Amino acid sequence: MSSGESRRGLWGSKLGFVLAASGSAIGLGNIVFFGANAYRYGGGAFYVPYFVALFLLGIPMMIVEFGLGKTQRRSFPASMRKACGAGGEFFGWWSQINALFIGMYYITILSWAASMLMKAFGPLLEDGRASVGPTFGATLASWTPAAFVVVLWGLNMVFLSKGTKTIERTAKIFVPLMWVFMIVLVVRGLSLDNGFQGVWYLFTPNFDGILDFSVWRGAFSQMFFSLSLGLGTMVAYSSYLPKKSDVITNAGMVSFLNCSFEFIAGVAIFSILFAFSLYPGSSTGTLGMSLVVIPSGIAEFPAAQAVFAGLFFFLLVIAGLTSSISILEAPISAIRDKFAWPRGKVLALIALIGLPGSLVFALPMMLDRGGEPTQTTGLTLLDLLDHWAFGYSLLIVGLTEALYIGWGYGISRLRNELNATSFLKLGPWFDWLIKLVIPVVISVVLIFNVLGEIGAFYGTKESQLFDGLNWLPFAVFIFWAIATFGGASVLTRLTQAKEEGIERVES
């Protein structure tokens, strides 16, 4: 192995890469967010936008991200610099700072799932369904999640300690395990009385919502997040691929695995909802659906309730862990490529910034938000930051990526490079998809987002106000804007360390 290979790392096998990439894609997004979105946007009404998002946006952008990593053999900012110049690097760093923010609160959400896992064998189901909501509220408002934040950061560091080697090993254990657990849950869900009703609701096409813009926006953001696009993760992972890899087929396979898992998760969730007539109202937040409503259904299972509740939360934790390591690997590889620091030093730096960040989101109740037990300080901050770091950044990065690669690097050049080692070949239609169709579609979604913002700045609507802290939504926005735009310009300007070894993974 050349020094370059040992410095950046290389996947042990094709299977290892597919498992790691699908471990990244399959996560909280597939269970927590998909279930909530599909329900909120009306079951069958969600599928048309979902499939359009998959074929028009998801798979093509996955091919671009895999292709960028494989051909440039660098992390996202360094790949963008090499392919498209300093402007590209700037957006690369911008996305990496957003990735770090998302990684911070993603781990906090995992800590809530881990706390609930612990409670599954204690007070969670003591009084059946009645104790689930109060236990969740009490857990969020306690310091237990903070303790789990520390444990989960420790696990992330262990799984990332030897780069591809440890990431691959983690994926090889956890990814098959999460499929098994999900299949157990879906079989149990479908065998419940009326379980199939939920499946009909989920799969009966419904064109009512097709003109509703928010359904499209929901499906597009969901797709980006679910496929781990727009944060540089897939670029980092594919930069560890051997040069001859077939990334077009791999992109199809990873997308297929991800969406299949999402479908199965949807079936499990909807069968439980309908079997026990749990129809969450509009006030049930995204997290409430998975962390409260589903366990409430499990509490009514005829037998082994604690076992199924434990299995469900354990599934969330392992699916989330294989994703959180990928979110962190993106900035880790970016810093390593820029400064040529050893992995241990970069891991320490990321943990030093990220762990306190996750702890902030785990803060229990400190603000009085009118007696809502689940509205803790941490969750309030998470909600405000998520609106910017997730709601905007993935789509903005997708847009700039499509434009830079489409017009700057030249998508036909990338397409030819990828076709040369691929079983499936992309035709010239792909060029127009990346150069024109995707930028137009994402721009329309973004413009509507911004227009919505003008009416009411996020977090300041009457229902969201809280005494004396009306400035908080603005403060979070300003903090986010300075951290991401300021941080990205500084990092772009810093001199690149000599690219020793970066380019040598040629095999």
Q: Which is nearer to ligand PFF, 41 or 301 (CB)?
A: 41
Least distance to ligand PFF, CB of residue 225, Å: 5
Q: Name which of 327 and 381 has its Cβ closer to ligand PFF.
A: 327
45 contact partners, CB below 8 Å, separation of at least 6: 206, 207, 208, 209, 210, 212, 215
The least distance separating ligand PFF from the CB of residue 470, rounded to whole angstroms, comes to 31
Q: How far is CA 24 from CA 20, 113, 322, 381, 448, in A?
A: 6, 18, 6, 25, 29
State the helix-helix crossing angle for 59-72 and 76-84, rounded to 10 degrees: 80
> Closer to ligand PFF at the Cβ: 311 or 394?
394
Question: Cβ 105 to ligand PFF, closest distance in Å?
Answer: 12
Q: Which of 306, 393, 399 is nearest to 64 (CA)?
A: 399
Residue nearer to ligand PFF on the CB measure, 111 or 228:
228
**Cβ of residue 344: shortest distance to ligand PFF, in angstroms?**
23
Say how far apart CA 218 and CA 455 lie, in whole Å.
Answer: 19
Q: How far apart are the first and last CA of the chain?
A: 10
Q: How far is the CB of 316 from ligand PFF (least distance, A)?
A: 10
Q: Which residues make up the interface to ligand PFF (CB under 6 A)? A: 24-25, 27-30, 225-226, 228, 231, 233, 323, 326-327
Structure tokens at 106: 């993603």
d(CA 77, CA 92): 4
The minimum distance between CB 231 and ligand PFF, in angstroms, equals: 3
CB of 507 to ligand PFF, least distance (A): 26
Per-residue CA distances from 14 to 21, 155, 227, 246 (Å): 11, 25, 19, 10
SS3 of the chain: helix, strand, coil, percent, to 5: 75, 0, 25
SS (H, E, C) 332-360: HHHHHHHHCCCHHHHHHHHHHHHHHHHHH
Nearer to ligand PFF by Cβ, of 26 and 141: the residue is 26
Cβ neighbours of residue 269 closer than 8 Å, sequence gap 6 or more: 31, 35, 39, 189, 198, 289, 290, 294
Does the CA dihedral 117-355-226-257 come out positive or negative?
Answer: negative
Pick 125 or 235: Cβ nearer ligand PFF:
235
CB nearer to ligand PFF: give 195 or 230: 230
CB 330 within 8 A of CB 236: yes
User: Directed axis angle between helix 164-190 and helix 305-339, to 10°?
Assistant: 150
Q: Which of 192, 208, 196, 231 is nearest to 62 (CA)?
A: 231
Instruction: Report how far residue 500's alpha carbon sits from residue 7's, in angstroms, rounded to the nearest whole number.
Output: 9
Query: Taking the complex as a whole, how short is the minimal distance between the CB of residue 165 and ligand PFF, in angstroms?
Result: 20
Q: For ligand PFF, which is the closer residue by CB, 108 or 135?
A: 108
| Nearest distance, CB of residue 250 and ligand PFF, angstroms | 16
Minimum Å gap between C-beta 351 and ligand PFF is 18
By beta-carbon proximity to ligand PFF, the closer residue of 77 and 473 is: 77
Which C-beta is closer to ligand PFF: that of 148 or that of 276? 148
Q: Half-sphere exposure of 234 toward its Cβ, with a 13 Å CA cutoff?
A: 31
Nearer Cβ to ligand PFF, position 124 or 316?
316
Give min distance, CB of 30 to ligand PFF, in A: 5
Which residue, 276 or 480, has its beta carbon nearer to ligand PFF?
Answer: 480
Give the residue closest to ligand PFF by C-beta. Answer: 29
Nearer to ligand PFF, 330 or 347 (CB): 330
Farthest-apart Cα atoms in the chain, separation: 64
Neighbours of 479 (CB within 10 A): 13
User: Least CB distance from residue 280 to ligand PFF, whole Å?
Assistant: 20
Q: Return the closest-CA partner of residue 426 out of 151, 9, 32, 67.
A: 67
**130 CB-near residues (< 8 Å, 6+ apart):** none
The least distance separating ligand PFF from the CB of residue 395, rounded to whole angstroms, comes to: 13
Q: For the purposes of burial, counting CB atoms within 10 Å of the CB of 266, is it exposed (0-12), middle (13-18) or buried (19 or more)?
A: buried
